[in-house]
Every structure is written in structure tokens, then in C-alpha cells.
A = this chain, B = another copy of it.
Amino acid sequence: MLRSVLRRVLGGGQGWGAGPRRPIQSCSALVYRKHGPDLDQLRMEQWDLPAVGAHSVRLQILAAPVNPADINMMQGTYPILPEFPAVGGNEGMGEVVEVGAGVSSVRVGDWVIPVDAGFGTWRTEAVCDAADLLSVPRDVSLLGASTVSVNPCTAYRMLHDFQHLRPGDTVIQNGANSAVGQAVIQIAAALGLRTINIVRDRPNYEGLAAELKARGADHVMTEDELQRTGLGHILQEVPRPRLGLNCVGGVSGGLVLTSLDSGGTLVTYGGMAKKPLQIPAKSLIFQNISLKGFWMTQWKRNNRKDFHLLQSMVDALCAMLRSGQLTPPTCVLVPFQNYRQAIQATVQPHQCKQVLLMH
């Protein structure tokens, strides 16, 4: 599916290198032609845009983040890879500037985001099928709209699809200060759920804990503390969690697992520690804990035909963004031409999310 999306976005072979055929517009795009550890091969190039067809639209891309998955895709270590030449970037938002005669789902001036991964959002303009876009309201912030479709959607689905949770129920997560973790805290709070948030011990722990609590975290503790004391006194205030979210793995994932209530589910969506989860048989057999994984890209593939489900999730998240219940993660805004700075910062540890501004 990724290849067909790319082909549609790039205009069926009329992109860079194929030579202009009645080009109506061109755009600047960040292009790569091979996989590998060398990120310097990413180049800003001029790309011809195809004419807008009956069912397609032309967008000005306004903002697009640099996510770790974008880097992994360039390196060739991600489970889906593009055809070459490829435009980087999977997430972002644009404004519709031209629509085909047969398009009724969006209008000129609408804000939109791509449905699927693999769009190639690091570009100033794109022509694509109108069916590959979801609408976002214009009264949401640029940052909120351009970063809503990966991390907040992941948090939203994990809170909805794995356990039937009711207001007052508890969720426990590690990597709680990650972009997904911060969205989990806020969406959970909006749903009336309580959160127990595990972070690695660090010099500025108190400041981080205060920041997460300001977002709505009920409890914040370090991995060391959880290992030493378990959930202890926290269980006098909240019920034992039935949902655990893990993006770390190794010991940390095991700590989240053993904190769950009988019949609970541990959902893994990342493996930052690069160490396997250690699962004692008795947790599975006698505590009836289930382990599952979540990957937003696959979820979108599985639900691609249910456009209403996709749009209603984005609408719900945009409503939270508008009301302030959900705030975008702390970001560094980087002018498009300074893209190398954004790429380099993304591969460093403990950096804020980098968002490219195209215009």
C-alpha cells in the first residue's frame, strides 16, 4: 500500500528525474535514494508536480515533524520502506490550494493530514488523491494539527481498544515523558482515567514529575522506586491497573507487567531499551495477563475502509486540542531549509520533537 500511496503522491512517475511533462507547479522536497546510516544523503530538490486530476487535490504543506520512524525509514530499518526516489516524512499537515472537479470531501482552504504512513510530508507542496486525506479544523493550532496523527492517535487507540476502561480505572505506563506518554496522560485524564507514570531516574526528576502532573498525571514514579516498593501506597488511592503501556522493554516492561491486575493487558508500542521483555510464565497462567502490540501504521491499514472511524478519532483529538485538554508536545520549530539541524537533533537522545515549517 505504501508504494501505491507514494506513487499517487508523486504523480505516477512524473516526479523528479522523469523530466517535466506539462508541469503546472513544482515544489521543494527532501529526497533520498538509498537506505543506510548516512543521513546526509537527504537533499532538498525541486520536484515537478502533476496536474490536479478529477479526484485529486493540491496541498501546500505547512508543517511536518521529524519522527524517529522517519529516520528509521531512511536508514532502512523500518518494517515499511518506500520506493526510490523517496520524499522523507510520514506526518504533517497542509492546506488545500486546488481541488479536482470530482472532489467533494475537502475544499480550498481546508486543513488536512495524510491518512497513511509513507506520504512523504517533507515538501512544500503535494498533489494526491482526496481519499488519502483527513480533515482537521482550522481553529486547531498548526503544531497540534501537524503532530496529531501518530502519537496522539497511538495513545487514543491504546486507551480504547485493549481493555474496557471506565472512569476511575487506572492505566500504568513507562516512558511516560515520551510524546505518546504525554498524550496518554492527557487523553486518559480527559476520559476520567487515572494514570501511574514511570520514568527513568534522572537529575531533574522532580521537575519532570511536576511537568507531567501539570499535564494531568495522577502519579509519577521512577523505575527504581517501582522496583523497590511496588505500587504500595498508590493502591490505597487508585484501583490496580488493568491496562499497561510499554515503550521501553527489558526490566521496565516487566515492572509494568507485574503491576497489573489479574486479567490485565500489557500493550507494547516501542522498545527504547533495546532489550527483550522478560515475562514470567506465572503472570500469563495464573494472573491471566495478555500481551499485545500496537502499531499505528498497521491499525490504519486494517481500518482503511472505515473512513468514519479514522475521521471520528481525529475529530475527537482535535476537540481535545481545541479545548486544551490535549496540548502538542514541546517542539522546536525549524525553518524548512534548516532541515539538517532537525534531522541531527532527532537522532540525539533527550531532544524535543523537531517540526519543519515549510512556509
Q: Please give the residue numbers on chain A whose beta carbons come within 8 Å of chain B beta carbons, in ascending order.
A: 79, 246, 249, 254, 268-271, 276-295, 298
Contact = CB atoms under 8 A, between A and B. Distances in A.
B289 A290 contact: no
A288 B298 contact: yes
A291 to B, nearest CB: 4
Best-buried of A269, A270, A284, A289 by chain B (most CB within 10 Å)? A284
Contacts of A285: 268-271, 293-295
Contacts of A287: 293
Nearest to A274: B281
A281 B252 CA distance: 13
B271 A281 contact: yes
A21 B257 CA distance: 51
17 contacts: A79-B286, A249-B281, A254-B276, A269-B285, A271-B282, A271-B285, A277-B278, A277-B279, A277-B284, A278-B278, A283-B293, A284-B292, A285-B293, A288-B295, A289-B293, A290-B291, A291-B291
Given A79-B286, A286-B79, A281 B270 contact: yes
Question: How many protomers of this protein does the assembly include?
Answer: 2
Nearest to A297: B286
Given A268-B285, A277-B278, 13 more contacts: A246-B281, A268-B281, A271-B280, A276-B279, A283-B293, A285-B293, A285-B295, A286-B298, A287-B293, A288-B293, A290-B290, A290-B292, A291-B292
A78 to B, nearest CB: 9
Contact of A277 (B249, B281, B286): B281
Contacts of A270: 281, 285
B279 A291 contact: yes
Contacts of A286: 79, 293, 295, 298
Contacts of A246: 281
A217 to B, nearest CB: 24
Nearest to A262: B298
Nearest to A294: B285
Nearest to A254: B276
Contacts of A269: 285
A298 to B, nearest CB: 7
A173 to B, nearest CB: 14
A79 B288 CA distance: 12
Best-buried of A246, A269, A282 by chain B (most CB within 10 Å)? A282
A49 B325 CA distance: 67
A155 B171 CA distance: 33
A211 B287 CA distance: 35
Contacts of A280: 271, 276-277
